[in-house]
Amino acid sequence: MNREERLERMRHSAAHIMAEAVQSLFPEAKFGIGPAIENGFYYDFELPRPLTQEDLPIIESKMKEIIDADLPFIREEVSKEKARLLFATQPYKLELINELPDAIVAIYKQGSFTDLCRGPHIASTGEVKAFKLTHIAGAYWRGDERQPMLQRIYGVAFDSQAELEDYLLRQAEAAKRDHRKLGKELDLFSIHEEIGPGLICWHPKGALIRQIIEDFWKAEHIKQGYDIVYTPHIAKLDLWKTSGHWEFYRDYLYPPMEVEGQQYIIKPMNCLGHIMIYKSQLRSYRDLPLRYAELGTVYRYERTGVLHGLARVRGFTQDDAHIFCRPDQTEAEVMGVVELAKFMISTFGFGDYELLLSTRPEKYAGTIEMWEGATESLKRVLEKLKLPYKLDPGEGVFYGPKIDIKLRDALGHAWQGPTIQVDFNLPQRFNVCYIGADGLEHNVTMIHRTVLGSMERFLACLIEHYGGAFPVWLSPVQAVIIPIADRHIDYTHQVGNELEEEGIRTQVDDRSERMNLKIREAQLNKIPYMIIVGDNEVASSNVSLRLRSGEDIGSQTISQVKAKIRRDIEAKC
RNA sequence: GCCAGCGUAGCUCAGGGGUAGAGCAGCGGUUUCGUAAACCGCUGGUCGUCGGUUCGAAUCCGACCGCUGGCUCCA
């Protein structure tokens, strides 16, 4: 048994132990399910009263008693009949029993607690070495919002106290990288109750980072044969009826507004504008592929409970593009997009990401042949590029299969970023065609794609990835010049001007404050270079260089410093 | 949207039925200093909003708004 399997078994057993503890405190508890998860476990309960944070230590100490008693886990196999009797007061367990395919089901007992469970488990409760209950949350029975909401207790468990403490410490460190916290501390963006939830105000420093990314994005897209376009933020409702969005996507749309007797809505997607541009002329098969790219701001109504800083908002800018191509070009185009996405996110330092290939859902547009053909193309691209990916069966959008790339935030939550979606629906609904070599009209294949996801979510991940210490090329302030005493101020401005002329974003800190305070603030603002000047520097026409790592490089000529900063900017690291 | 928790000065937070507190920030001074916080003084809040209970509410109750952790959903 490898480490992961052993840990999973132990964590699952910890869930049973927690269930026993809860049962002893609430004899009338009804039990849902209690699996192992990454780093720990949870169990869902229906209880006579809401749990509070204060209940957790009580449950923990009860769990410790059970662990200290070192009770064996005993597996038994019983008939469904017997299981129904055993769990007669447990409606959720009965529901599970009824759905199990076999006539015989497994149960596990430890101490006074018996659970319907496939197993496997550890030999006895004493094998749980280190655990902690972390939080309580509501969770729908079977993850279905029409079902009752149960109370879920989450815990973490490890092989040793040291590993547990290490994990908790890492979580605490990760919390410091939270983009919502850093966004405020580094003065990057804000969200206002007065404006509305999920709507972002970008402050000068955050806007500057975004602008650098957008400039880079545009330049790379132009290199890759994309054409930059702009399309309106509102459009007639009829357009969205034709596209099917009004029918399939209505819950996410802001209600229509009436203008001159016509209904308009704010766009939730950019595709329709791009289609209109495509359709403004007759297109020959020789013109394809056409790639229209737009940093397009869209608005979607998201339920209040799902909003999260920059990562899940109601107004966001997609780094969108739509590729119109012939079916025989699809694979090459998807290949180009995957490579571009890989290049973009690796430029921003993301090495660790997940690729998912989603296939045909139950409700779908187009024919099975179209789906299979496109899904195979996507698969071949991933295989040719030797990219490891997971299949996400049935999770495609109704209009076509897709490849998603997920980026992780500081706390390990995976957010969908780049996405590449083949679309069989819109070309038909809008009759998006080209004239083939045969002189006849053919539907184009349309590919919707982003290579960052959205500026908001990407920035959220980026802030957390770097913990706010952005690489030099993205740092809003790249160098701060700090005089030791007021008599050095003239010289700091002189140095500052030289750096500015070199295109380095420089700030001269000429406030009447002590150098130590200025260094501290520069550190807290995660400014990459601190350039300190005092009597020695003025006398020698040099500067003293300190890095945000804390490293004191010491005396350098101004041209040495300029060259170093330029090199670091160009290396994008 | 659902479950739970939370909302006190610009920020971080204490207080908890008798009418508001700290540190930092800000402002005014003093200090001119060698690699992560100099010193003194001052200003600053209808305690998220609206209702209710009470002689009296920031404190208790209700509704709403917002935030946090999950669930569901997603770029």
Quick check: A411 pLDDT over 80?
no
Mean pLDDT across A198-215? 96
Distance A50 CA to B54 C1' (A): 29
Which domain CATH number covers A228? 3.30.930.10
3-state secondary structure of A411: coil
Residues A348 and A409 in one domain: yes
- Closest-lying nucleotide for A526 based on CA to C1': B36
Is A177 domain-assigned?
A: no
Mean pLDDT across A3-15? 93
Q: Which residue is nearest to nucleotide B68 (CA to C1')?
A: A308
Measured CA to CA, the distance from residue A572 to residue A471 in angstroms comes to 7
Is A526 domain-assigned?
A: yes
Domain boundary among A171, A198, A224: A171
Residues A453 and A553 in one domain: no
pLDDT score of A410:
75
Distance A546 CA to B38 C1' (A): 22
Domain boundary among A119, A136, A171: A171
Residues A314 and A438 in one domain: yes
- Closest-lying nucleotide for A150 based on CA to C1': B3
pLDDT score of A412:
77
pLDDT in tens, A105-119: 999 999 999 999 988
Mean pLDDT across A537-548? 96
Mean pLDDT across A125-136? 93
Query: Residue A165's pLDDT band (boundaries 50, 70, 90)?
Result: very high
Residues A415 and A271 in one domain: yes
Name the region of A181 (left: φ>0; alpha: ψ -120 to 50; beta: rest): alpha
Mean pLDDT of chain A: 93
User: Which residues in A290-310 are b (16+ Cβ under 10 Å) and which e?
Assistant: bbbbbbbbbbbebeeeeebbb
Quick check: A538 pLDDT over 90?
yes
> Which residues of A carry out catalysis?
271, 300, 318, 320, 322, 402, 448
Which domain CATH number covers A479? 3.40.50.800
Mean pLDDT across A131-143? 93
DSSP A193: T
pLDDT score of A49:
87
Quick check: A522 pLDDT over 90?
yes
Residues A462 and A483 in one domain: no
Query: Residue A247's pLDDT band (boundaries 50, 70, 90)?
Result: confident
Q: Which residue is nearest to nucleotide B36 (CA to C1')?
A: A520
Distance A320 CA to B54 C1' (A): 60
Quick check: A424 pLDDT over 90?
no
- Boundaries of domain holding A399: 185-466
**Burial of A13 from C-beta contacts in 10 A (0-12 / 13-18 / 19+):** buried
Which residue from A126, A163, A98, A97 is spatially nearest to A17, judged by alpha carbons? A126
Residues A534 and A457 in one domain: no
Distance A53 CA to B57 C1' (A): 27
Residues A85 and A7 in one domain: yes
- Closest-lying nucleotide for A134 based on CA to C1': B69
Is A176 domain-assigned?
A: no
- A286-300, A412-426, A506-520, A535-549: which has the minimum mean pLDDT? A412-426
Query: Percent of chain A, pLDDT > 90?
Result: 84
Residues A211 and A325 in one domain: yes
Is A179 domain-assigned?
A: no
Cα-based distances in Å from A503 to A32, A478, A565? 61, 10, 10
Degrees, nearest 5: CA angle A328-A330-A333: 125
Quick check: A393 pLDDT over 90?
no
Residues A459 and A549 in one domain: no
Is A206 domain-assigned?
A: yes
pLDDT score of A563:
97
Quick check: A288 pLDDT over 80?
yes
Is A339 domain-assigned?
A: yes
Residue bearing tokens 């005396």:
A555
- The number of domains in chain A is 3
- A37-46, A231-240, A246-255, A278-287: which has the minimum mean pLDDT? A246-255
Quick check: A102 pLDDT over 90?
no
Is A178 domain-assigned?
A: no
| 8 A C-beta contact, residue A43 and residue A152 | yes
Mean pLDDT across A74-95? 93
pLDDT score of A163:
94
Q: Which residue is nearest to nucleotide B69 (CA to C1')?
A: A137
Domain boundary among A146, A171, A196: A171
Is A180 domain-assigned?
A: no
Quick check: A409 pLDDT over 90?
no
Residues A353 and A415 in one domain: yes
* Nucleotides on strand B lying under 7 Å from protein C-beta: 1-5, 11-12, 30-38, 65-75
Which domain CATH number covers A101? 3.30.980.10
pLDDT score of A459:
96
pLDDT in tens, A46-71: 998 888 888 899 999 999 999 999 99
Quick check: A363 pLDDT over 90?
no
pLDDT score of A119:
80
Query: Residue A367's pLDDT band (boundaries 50, 70, 90)?
Result: confident
Measured CA to CA, the distance from residue A277 to residue A300 in angstroms comes to 23
Quick check: A558 pLDDT over 90?
yes
Mean pLDDT across A371-399? 90
Distance A54 CA to B60 C1' (A): 22
Quick check: A4 pLDDT over 80?
yes
Report ipTM (2 d.p.): 0.94
pLDDT score of A394:
84
3-state secondary structure of A402: strand
- A199-203, A307-311, A362-366: which has the minimum mean pLDDT? A362-366
Query: Residue A464's pLDDT band (boundaries 50, 70, 90)?
Result: very high
Residues A452 and A476 in one domain: no
Measured CA to CA, the distance from residue A402 to residue A397 in angstroms comes to 7
Mean pLDDT across A460-471? 95
pLDDT score of A1:
74
Residues A355 and A270 in one domain: yes
Quick check: A324 pLDDT over 80?
yes
